[in-house]
Amino acid sequence: MKTKTLIVFLTLPVLALVVGCQPPGERTSGAPLSDPHGEHAEPPTADPSWPRLPDDWLIGEVGGIAVDLEDNIWLVHRPRSLNADETGLAQDPPVSACCNAAPPVLKFDTGGNLLDSWGDANGYQGEGYEWPETEHGIFVDHLGYVWFAGNGPNDHQVLKFSGDGTFVMQIGQAGRTEGSNSTEFLGQPADLEVDPETNELYIADGYLNKRIIVFNAETGEYLRHWGAYGNEPSDDDTGAFEPGIEPIQQFRTPVHAVRIANDGMVYVADRVNNRIQVFQKDGTYVDEMIVEGNTLGAGSTWDLELSPDDGQVDLYNADGTNQRIHIINRAAMEIESYFGRRGRYSGQFHWVHNVVVDSEGNFYTAEVNTGRRAQKFVVSHAGHVH
C-alpha cells in the first residue's frame, strides 16, 4: 500500500522578483508560496516503490537523471561512491548477503521497472573513450543518443552513446584542459542538452571552466561559447559569494545546468551565485533571477527542467542546499511554489541534485552526497502543477 507523503506546498503571496526589481542577494523565496494554476492543486506525492532494483543491487550517488521521448527514465549513478560496508557481497570473501554496486547506467519505465543497464562497479569502461572518474549529468536527445559528463579532477570530456550502449563520440580529453576560452578542450563539464531544432550540443562547462559551450552534436565541431551576461568568460578568481553584493559579471563555478525551451530561450544555472540566467541561442543575454539569494555553501540553483505543457509555462529548479524543488513561472520569472524539505524519509531530500519530468508532469529527482537515491513524485491532474 502506498502512503501519501506530506510535502511542503502551502500558500502565501509570491515573493520572488526578477533581478533589478529587488536588491541583489535579497531573499526571493523560502516562504510557502501560492500556485496560480489552481487554488486546489495538490502537492506531488512521493512514490516509495520507485524505482525497483534487483535484491542484491545498491545505487550510490545519483549524478544525473533524464527522460527520453518514450518516457523512459535514465539514471547515471556513481558505483565507486559506495564503500566496502555497503558492497559487502562484492568483497573477497563476501562479508554480507548484500550488496553489489548496480551498474552506473540504469534505464527504467515510469512504473519503476528496470529495462536496461550498462557497465559494472568500475563504470562503463570500453575501447575508444574515457569513462569519467565521477559521473555527472546525463541527457537523452531527440534521436535517442545518450550523453554523459563528469566532474572528477581529470574529467574534461563528454561522451555520446547510442541507446544500446554503443560508443559514438567523445568531445574533450580526460586530464587536459586549457581554460574557459578553449574551443577544443573542456573543464569538468557538469551538464548538457541537445537542441532538437539544430542538433547542437550545449554544455554547462562547468566545475573548472565558467561558460556555456556549443558543439555540433553529430560532428563534434566547435560552434560558440559565452560566459555570464554573454560576456567573454574569464578564469580570474571571483572570490567567495557574499549575500547582498552586486551580481558579478562572470559565472562562479560550477556552471551546473543548461536547458533549452521550445521558444528558443536557454536557461543556465549559475549555482553558487544563486541565479538563473536566460540567453538566446547565440549567447545574447536576456534576463536573470535570483533564487534564495541568501543561500551560502553550494548555492541554490542546482538543476533546471521545463514543464511538459505545450507552452512550457513553468521552469523547475532543484535546490540542493535548501532541499526543495522550486516552481518558477517562466514569463514572470517568479517563484510560484515549492515542494520538499531536508530529510531522509520518502519525499524529503538530502542534496537533491537533479530534477526531470515525464510527459504527464510527474517529477523524478536524483540525490548525491549521502542522499544516494532517485525518487518519483506523482502529480494529481485534478489540479496539477505544470
Answer yes or no: are the C-beta atoms of 95 and 88 closer than 8 Å.
yes
Grid coordinates representing 226 are 559565452
Residue 89, φ and ψ in degrees, nearest 5: -70, -25
Answer yes or no: are the C-beta atoms of 296 and 252 closer than 8 Å.
no
d(CA 336, CA 330): 10
d(CA 336, CA 35): 5
The string of DSSP codes covering 174-236 is TTB---TT-SS--SSEEEEEEETTTTEEEEEE-SSS-EEEEEETTT--EEEEE-GGGPPP--S
d(CA 300, CA 294): 9
pTM greater than 0.85 (yes/no): yes
The string of DSSP codes covering 235-292 is -S------TTSPPPSSPPSPEEEEEE-TTS-EEEEETTTTEEEEE-TTS-EEEEEESS
Answer yes or no: are the C-beta atoms of 220 and 169 closer than 8 Å.
yes
Give Cβ neighbours of residue 145 (< 8 Å, ≥ 6 apart).
Answer: 160, 161, 162, 163, 168, 194, 217
SS3 label, residue 89 = helix
pLDDT tens for the 386 residues of the chain, in order? 333 333 333 333 333 333 333 333 333 433 333 333 444 368 899 999 999 999 999 999 999 999 999 999 999 999 999 999 999 999 999 999 999 999 999 999 999 999 999 999 999 999 999 999 999 999 999 999 999 999 999 999 999 999 999 999 999 999 999 999 999 999 999 999 999 999 999 999 999 999 999 999 999 999 999 999 999 999 999 999 999 888 899 999 999 999 999 999 999 999 999 999 999 999 999 999 999 999 999 999 999 999 999 999 999 999 999 999 999 999 999 999 999 999 999 999 999 999 999 999 999 999 999 999 999 999 987 545 55
Closest by alpha carbon to 27, among 247, 325, 243, 317? 243
Q: For 113-140, how does the pLDDT look when each residue is reduced to its tens digit (9 = 90+)?
A: 999 999 999 999 999 999 999 999 999 9
Residue 9, φ and ψ in degrees, nearest 5: -165, 70
Q: What is the model's pLDDT at position 385?
A: 57
Residues in the chain: 386
Grid coordinates representing 141 are 536527445
Residue type, 116: D
Give Cβ neighbours of residue 164 (< 8 Å, ≥ 6 apart).
Answer: none
Ordered structural domains, the chain, with CATH: 45-378 (2.120.10.30)
d(CA 18, CA 35): 18
Cell 551498474 sits on residue: 103
- Asked if residue 99 has a cis previous peptide bond (ω within 30° of 0), the answer is yes
